Amino acid sequence: MECSPPRAAYIHVPFCVHRCGYCDFTLVANRDDLIGDYLAALEIELNSLQSACEVDTIFFGGGTPTQLEPAQLRKLLALVNRWFHISPDGEFSTEANPDGLTQEKVAVLAEGGVNRVSLGVQSFDPAVLETLERRHLPDDIGVATKRVRHHISNVSLDLIFGVPGQSIESWDETLAKTIALKPQHVSTYGLTFEKGTTFWSRRERGDLVAMHPEIERDMYRRAMQVLPASGYEQYELSNFAKPDFRCRHNETYWAAQPYFAFGPGAARYVDGRRETNHRSVFGWLKRVHAGESPVAEVEEMTDEDRAREAIVIGLRRTAGVNRQHLLDRFGFTPEQLATAELQRHIKLGNLTDNGDQIQLTTEGRYVADSVVMDFL
């Protein structure tokens, strides 16, 4: 039904010093020698746009975008700004790690238009950071935050809970120290063991013991209490923001709006068509430099597919899914797609339905993954 041009662009930067044991993102560790080839390939892929586009949000994800040296960052920013013109009130975000984030790099980001930085701090507990194989120390977090704010005022901190050996007291302290730094935005993610990661293998061998679900649930509950009490609105399952500081780029995803994406493993959604690039950095580089398509997977989505997906990702937002908007955009109501599932989760207390909005309850947020999958 609806067909609108994307107003958001994602750029995947796949470089890190080290692959953390829980990470299954597309990246290469300790291969900075490939950055030049990557930038050349990204330029080729961006050239497929043929003309520059105005967007409201740009997001550099990874990997660690700030792994690039200042001169490389300048080139990356110049490439992206050539093809994407950010709107006057637009949001230009990058992910970054506290370690290696120099004053010069932050200055380059700001000069290139970046106005929001998401710091992957994960924890303020040195033991938890060690378990997660993070390379920064707790004291580095405040230093990095101050360094960013010298040039860029909008800062988000990413946290992880449910880490083996992590205590409730440790999580409480991390939340308190996060709030003390006064970031505009906080993300809290429960640790997951993804197949293919070293954490998965270590758990299978018994080297790592997953946290008891009830303790992890209690940690999530504390985040949902403590952060709103300090002025952070929970607007999505894992995301909390001060007024007017929601991550606008991620809201594009949760609203099932179209978006561009470039780089290895990047997934784009344009004109109802979903494309995913090759996840192998080497495979992506080889294909692009050979003049071949970097796309590995294509899905032509029907209106029903898009409606179902809009419910699944829309329920992640605390505002939920608007019945009339779903009908206007895709021609379907939730009842037409999953009547039995909707009624079952309402009876279980996982969902509420006031006639206009369908939303996860607080209890439903704890089992959100199982609830939303019933709508696919």
* DSSP code string of 31-74: -GGGHHHHHHHHHHHHGGG-S-EEEEEEEEEES-GGGS-HHHHH
Q: Is the pLDDT of residue 334 over 70?
A: yes
- From residue 193, how far is each of 62, 161, 164, 211 by CA, in Å? 19, 13, 11, 11
Same domain, 198 and 342: no
Quick check: is 306 in a domain?
no
Burial of 47: CB neighbours in 10 Å, binned 0-12, 13-18, 19+: exposed
Percent of the chain exceeding pLDDT 90 equals 96
Query: What is d(CA 232, CA 35) in angstroms, rounded to the nearest whole number?
Result: 37
The model's confidence at residue 57, banded by pLDDT at 50, 70 and 90, is very high
Q: In 223-260, which positions are buried (b, 16+ CB within 10 angstroms) versus exposed (e)?
A: bbebbeebebebbbbbbbbbeebbbbbbbbbbebbbbb
Beta bridge partners of 236: 239, 317
Pair 48, 171 in one domain: yes
Tell me, rounded to whole angstroms, the distance of Cα 144 from its chain centroid.
20
Task: Tell me the longest C-alpha to C-alpha distance in the chain.
Answer: 57
Average pLDDT, the chain: 96
Last residue of a domain, one of 238, 254, 270: 254
Give the model's pLDDT for residue 376: 82
Answer yes or no: do 28 and 177 share one domain.
yes
Task: Kindly state the helix (H) or strand (E) to which residue 296 belongs, with its residue range.
Answer: strand 295-300
For residues 148 and 60, membership in a common domain is answered with: yes
Q: What is the CATH number of the domain that holds 326?
A: 1.10.10
User: Band of the pLDDT at 44, cuts 50, 70, 90?
Assistant: very high
Whether residue 287 lies inside any domain: the answer is no
According to DSSP, residue 5 is labeled -
- Decide if 272 is inside a domain: no
Mark which of 219, 238, 254 sits at the end of a domain: 254
| Helix intervals (H) in the chain | 35-46, 70-83, 103-111, 126-131, 138-149, 168-180, 198-205, 213-229, 248-254, 281-289, 303-314, 323-330, 334-348, 362-366, 368-373
Pick the closest to residue 363 from 350, 346, 347 (CA basis): 350
Please provide residue 113's backbone torsions phi and psi, each rounded to the nearest 5 degrees: 105, -5
Distance CA 178, CA 180 (A): 5
In a domain, 292, yes or no: no
> In this structure, is residue 61 part of a structural domain?
yes
Interval 234-283: pLDDT, tens: 999 999 999 999 999 999 999 999 999 999 999 999 998 999 999 999 99
Q: Are residues 214 and 352 in the same domain?
A: no
Q: Based on the fold, state whether residues 70 and 203 are members of the same structural domain.
A: yes
- Given 234, 254, 274, the domain boundary residue is 254
**67 and 193: one domain?**
yes
- CATH no. for residue 127? 3.20.20.70
- CA–chain centroid gap for 365, Å, is 18
- For residues 62 and 182, state if they share a domain: yes
Domain membership flag for residue 220: yes
Instruction: State the pTM of this model.
Output: 0.96
CA 340 from centroid of its chain's CA atoms: 31
Domain of residue 324: give its range: 318-373
The reply to whether 226 and 324 lie within a common domain is: no
- Please state the rounded mean pLDDT for residues 116-128: 98
Residue 9 has pLDDT above 90, yes or no: yes
What's the token pair of residue 70? 């200042």
User: Alpha-carbon distance 169 to 174, whole Å?
Assistant: 9
- How many structural domains does the chain have? 2
Coil/strand/helix, residue 89: strand
Q: Could you tell me if residue 290 is inside a domain?
A: no
Would you state the pLDDT for residue 3?
55
Shared-domain flag, residues 51 and 180:
yes
Looking at the structure, tell me whether residues 141 and 241 fall in a common domain.
Answer: yes
270/3 Cα distance (integer angstroms): 8
Distance CA 57, CA 85 (A): 10
Does residue 302 belong to any structural domain of this protein?
no
pLDDT above 70 for 33: yes
The verdict on 324 and 188 lying in the same domain is no
* Token couple for 50: 């043929």
Strand order in the sheet with 351-353: 321-322, 357-360, 351-353
Give ∠ CA 204-27-209 in degrees, rounded to 5: 20
Average pLDDT estimate for 343-364:
95
